[in-house]
């Protein structure tokens, strides 16, 4: 009987777990829709901003000095990595994949003799890298209170990076985050933010030999525009990361719910067999006792 009771308790425990994973799956599905809409809504602005930066950069007159955010320090010795993950787990390999890419990037830079510094955004990335690279950490952005309001965090991080860059703390800043492609696919990627570079696929205007004359000059416009472009990149990455987290969480919880169902079926079968065996044994004992009399 103790075996039957143990199986019954285990079935009840798995059923309770299944209810939790099912509820979390539904919550993640609801959050995913909002996060995906926010990520997609930000793309046109981010794309247009990249196009403007690309055109201004391409149109700069020969010998015109560019802003430091664009021109760089002339060195590439010190690299700052901004590793962006989630605050929570239960989302499959979402955080682990980003941490793995960060780990590989750090090791590659250190192998080339570069100095590496790390800013973590999200608790899970910090926990994953803490064991090996805690001495490289220079700051952490706690996103636990962000919910769906990422703009203040993006602006704050952008200002912090600009100040650190002006103070000469690093030469190149690279963002590591997870790009949201669809519900099943979130791809970790790296993106250089400082010195600012427009994406390779940014659309530039063919002037057919004509020359734009800007007032104020291109460098002055870029001086004002590049900090906004930096904030836009960070915000866009945060939105992509949030959508990817919810998609990964929904998929992981769906898999967990189905696995729990399969385990319940298997345990129920074991329970029924054990119960039938117990009943058969008791019947045999009764019949044997009756024949003995």
Residues forming the active site? 91
Structure token pair of residue 29: 């599905």
How far apart are the C-alpha atoms of 154 and 42, rounded to whole Å? 13
How far apart are the C-alpha atoms of 173 and 79, rounded to whole Å? 6
Taking each helix axis from N to C end, the angle separating 151-166 and 218-292, rounded to the nearest 10 degrees, works out to 130
CA-based nearest residue to 91, from 266, 198, 245 = 245
Please name the residue that has the structure tokens 């007159």.
61
Counting every residue written for the chain, the total comes to 293
How many other CB atoms are found less than 10 A from the CB of residue 63?
A: 5
Q: In what order do the strands lie in the sheet with 115-121?
A: 137-141, 115-121, 78-84, 172-182, 185-194
């Amino acid at each position: 009987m103790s075996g039957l009771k143990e199986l019954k308790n285990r079935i009840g425990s798995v059923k309770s777990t299944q209810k939790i994973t099912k509820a979390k799956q539904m919550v993640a599905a609801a959050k995913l829709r909002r996060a995906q809409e926010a990520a997609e809504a930000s793309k046109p602005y981010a794309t247009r901003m990249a196009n403007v930066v690309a055109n201004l950069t391409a149109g700069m007159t020969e010998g015109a000095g560019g802003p430091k955010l664009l021109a760089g320090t002339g060195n590439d010795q010190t690299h700052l990595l901004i590793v962006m993950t989630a605050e929570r787990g239960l989302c499959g390999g979402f955080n682990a994949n980003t941490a793995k890419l960060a780990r590989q990037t750090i090791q590659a830079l250190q192998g080339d003799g570069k100095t590496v510094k790390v800013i973590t955004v999200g608790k899970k990335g910090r926990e994953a890298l803490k064991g090996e690279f805690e001495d490289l950490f220079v700051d952490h952005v706690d996103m636990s209170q962000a919910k769906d309001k990422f703009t203040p965090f993006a602006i704050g991080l952008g200002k912090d990076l600009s100040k650190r860059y002006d103070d000469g703390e690093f030469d190149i800043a690279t963002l590591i985050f997870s790009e949201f492609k669809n519900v099943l696919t979130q791809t970790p990627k790296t993106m250089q933010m400082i010195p600012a570079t427009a994406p390779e696929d940014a659309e530039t205007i063919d002037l057919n030999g004509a020359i734009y004359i800007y007032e104020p000059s291109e460098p002055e416009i870029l001086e004002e525009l590049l900090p906004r472009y930096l904030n836009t990149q960070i915000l866009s990455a945060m939105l992509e990361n949030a959508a990817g987290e919810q998609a990964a969480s929904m998929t992981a919880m769906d898999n967990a719910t189905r696995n729990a169902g399969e385990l319940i079926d298997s345990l129920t079968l074991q329970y029924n067999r054990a119960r039938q065996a117990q009943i058969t044994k008791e019947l045999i004992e009764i019949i044997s006792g009756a024949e003995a009399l």
